[in-house]
Amino acid sequence: MTIAFIGDIVGRPGRELIRKHLPAFREEYGIDFVIANYENASHGFGLTPKNAQELFGMGIDVMTGGNHTWDKREIAEMFEKFELLRPHNYPEGVPGTGCKLYEVGGERLAVINLMGHYGMPYTDNAFRCAQETVAALRNDGITSIFIDFHAEATSEKRGMLMLLQGEVSGIIGTHTHVGSDDFQIARGTAYLTDMGLTGCRDNVIGMDVKAPLERFLTGIPARFEVPKKCKAILQMAVMRLEEGRCTEAFKVKQFCDGRRFVTEAWLEDVHD
């Protein structure tokens, strides 16, 4: 099974790069299933039904969320209409779910969406939620398990790897929009601290520079906007899974000017 993950899609620039490249990437890299994070996909905040339909039509199979999941009021109804997840560690009774099972090439794949704690909205304990959910899945014979961990703190993301390495197929972080350079495979678990955004790259976390700089210089809040024109990037991780273990992984960085860089994940020499 070959799966791919695209981190925070930020506004129209991100969606346009996915439209242009994802169908060809699926064929070129033999991708069976695509997961992407939607929480900034519509004007930088949340997801609208129109943009959800648009993104699923581009070759995405399921989308994960984060702290901006609830920014568009239609989202609660959308959980019934689209393959959308929200962080699984929200309290019981919150609309939607953060864990779903999919049939991929005759195999079962579980996708889990979790949210960290530092600087984030109130949720239940992400680590206990992850541990209990993964244990229940493995007890049911499901070994192919992917986690999008939406968190601010790199220590939380690294801690999730230490907790679950060897138990899940992949853990990739989202939220900071800045891609990290630590893609590795440890005990059969692909890990990357942050995928990095798919959207504008020549500004501040995919947003026009004016509002962030005003905040930094004055401390006064300003509304973030996705630029209408920018230099954009698509960032995607591809993972080959065998019996639930990641055997090969690489990251694709596709620039809007046609440049493409592919970097392999390193195999971590882990001693039990």
Taking the C-alpha atoms of residue 255 and residue 68, their distance in angstroms, rounded to an integer, is 26
Catalytic hit among 68, 88, 175, 177: 68
Vertex 25: Cα angle to 43 and 185 (nearest 5) = 95
Phi then psi dihedrals of residue 73, to 5 deg: -65, -20
Vertex 43: Cα angle to 38 and 45 (nearest 5) = 55
Segment holding 218, helix H or strand E: helix 210-218
Taking the C-alpha atoms of residue 128 and residue 134, their distance in angstroms, rounded to an integer, is 10
- 177 is known as an active-site residue: no
Instruction: Give the three-class secondary structure for 258.
Output: coil
Active site residues: 68
